[in-house]
Structure 1
Amino acid sequence: MVTIDREAAPATAVAAVPALAAALAGRRGTALALGVLPAAIALFFRDPDRRPDGPDHGSIDADTVVSPADGKVMYAGPGQDGVAPEGEWQQVSIFLSAFDVHINRAPYGGRLTDVTYRPGKWLAAYTHESAHLNERTDLVVEREVEGQKRVVHFRQIVGLMARRVVTRVAKGDEVTTGQRVGLMKFGSRMDVFVPPEVGLLVHVGQRVIAGETVIARWPSSDAPR
């Protein structure tokens, strides 16, 4: 089932004004043409159900990191200087076009130990500089598996078209793998950082689906999700 996120209401209402004005003026053809815009904006905020443990994506367990966003992988490899947090990380960066679903999901289940919003610029999301100069929210999730602490850092970054990041979780919240955590408006980027021992399972140019596509995996463990 696909629903429309509540963030669609104000943007759709504003976009509908010209169509309504044309209709009131008796210009039916113009009103119908202008009505495409609010419909397209409402579609941008679509929120489809996702199955993290679906038959096409394999079992999601404590070793599995899933994509936090729909889009195309634009980088997968060692943490980039000026992009990755301090320390050693593996990095996956995902670009969301205006046509992708923009609902964001937790790539890994656990407790959110940090949720930090940072205002910034609106550079094109595919540029290197956008990762540390653009408006963004950094989220860190921690989880203990077999006595070992696991940490996944992920980041919502708005881009040239996107002008607002929406985060609906807070520090201290418990999240599950694939849970909805917020959205970004109109074209943006998601970065995921995992420890160096975690194997990346995606490549540049690959299309990924939020909450379903497995992007990385820890060395095998029998712990439940």
Structure 2
Amino acid sequence: MKFAPGGWRYAILPLLAAPFALIIGVGASAISLAVGVFVLLFFRDPERTPPLSGVVSPADGKVSVLREEGERVRLGVFMNVWNVHVIRAPFAGVVTDVEHSPGAHRPAFSKDSDRNEKVHVRLAAGELTNEDDTPEVTLIAGAFARRIFPYVDAEDRLERGERLGHIAFGSRVDVLFPPDVALDDVAVSIGERVTAGETVVLEHGAGTELETTDGIGE
């Protein structure tokens, strides 16, 4: 099984401590081993196969945000402790900017999480030329998620479903669509469970800027 970068760093201490914990008792050793295994499962990084078309979910979890912000639509996916926490590109494009925004560490399912620490990954897609209209993927820290690890830099080219980062122990990932995407175009609804890189959240044809991204830069 493949793991996200840094996963072993978090798991190695409880795994190594498990044999020595036998001095205290079998229960203590079992707990230490279970913690190590749980951490590794948290950082698991399975392969995903994107469908032939459509904008895909950036994260595993449940749709927790679906709203209009001015002329644009925001889709947010909340990840619980059982979900895979490796984030994937919802569409193909060239990274124009990776911006870190410091902030709070509120629970990712709360309204206050909009003020949490974030990393914005902006992707030039299709014919978009206006910087203000650039779609972006936002990785949001939560109450226990204190580290966001982007894998990409400006000018990197990403294919649809390609890994773009992970959040250590949490929490929420948003997609801010370009202005020509309407709320009714989104193919998922609040409370629906989605799978990163596989669940279609926007069909091709709904957003013209995202329609041609699979050939961008060629």
TM bucket, shorter chain: 0.7 to 0.9
Spell out structure 1 runs of 4+ moving beyond 3 A: 26-30, 148-151, 220-224
- 1:143–1:151 CA contact under 8 A, matched in 2: yes
Aligned to 1:71: 61
The alignment covers a number of residue pairs equal to: 205
Aligned to 1:200: 186
Residue 18 of structure 1: CA displacement? 3.9
Q: Give the 3-state SS of the residue equivalent to 2:180 in structure 1.
A: coil
Q: Give the 3-state SS of the residue equivalent to 2:134 in structure 1.
A: strand
Q: Give the 3-state SS of the residue equivalent to 1:52 in structure 2.
A: coil
Aligned to 1:39: 37
- What does 1:122-133 align with in structure 2 at a 5 Å threshold? 122-131=105-114, 133=115
Q: Which amino acid aligns with 1:5?
A: A
CA–CA distance in structure 1, aligned partners of residues 14 and 28 of structure 2? 14
When residues 224 and 144 of structure 1 are mapped into structure 2, their CA distance, relative to the original with a 3 A threshold, is closer
- 1:77–1:200 CA contact under 8 A, matched in 2: no
Residue 2 of structure 2 corresponds to residue 6 of structure 1: no
Aligned to 2:15: 16
Q: Which amino acid aligns with 1:102?
A: H
Q: Give the 3-state SS of the residue equivalent to 1:205 in structure 2.
A: coil
Residue 185 of structure 1: CA displacement? 1.3
Of 50, 56, 75, 2:48 maps to 50
Residue 202 of structure 2 corresponds to residue 216 of structure 1: yes
Q: Give the 3-state SS of the residue equivalent to 1:187 in structure 2.
A: coil
CA–CA distance in structure 2, aligned partners of residues 97 and 193 of structure 1? 21
CA–CA distance in structure 2, aligned partners of residues 223 and 34 of structure 1? 49
After superposition, the C-alpha distances for 1:168-193 in whole angstroms (9 at most, x for unaligned) are 10111111111001100112001111
CA–CA distance in structure 1, aligned partners of residues 6 and 170 of structure 2? 15
Residue 135 of structure 2 corresponds to residue 137 of structure 1: no
Report the TM-score when normalising by structure 1: 0.83
Residue 223 of structure 1: CA displacement? 4.5
Structure 2 stretches lacking a partner, 5+ long: none
Residue 219 of structure 1: CA displacement? 2.5
After superposition, the C-alpha distances for 1:23-77 in whole angstroms (9 at most, x for unaligned) are 3x38445323421110111110000100002xxxxx22xxx32110000001223
CA–CA distance in structure 2, aligned partners of residues 187 and 223 of structure 1? 32
- 2:58–2:90 CA contact under 8 A, matched in 1: yes
Q: Give the 3-state SS of the residue equivalent to 2:107 in structure 1.
A: coil
- What does 1:38-187 align with in structure 2 at a 5 Å threshold? 38-53=36-51, 59-60=52-53, 64-79=54-69, 88-131=71-114, 133-145=115-127, 149=129, 151-187=134-170
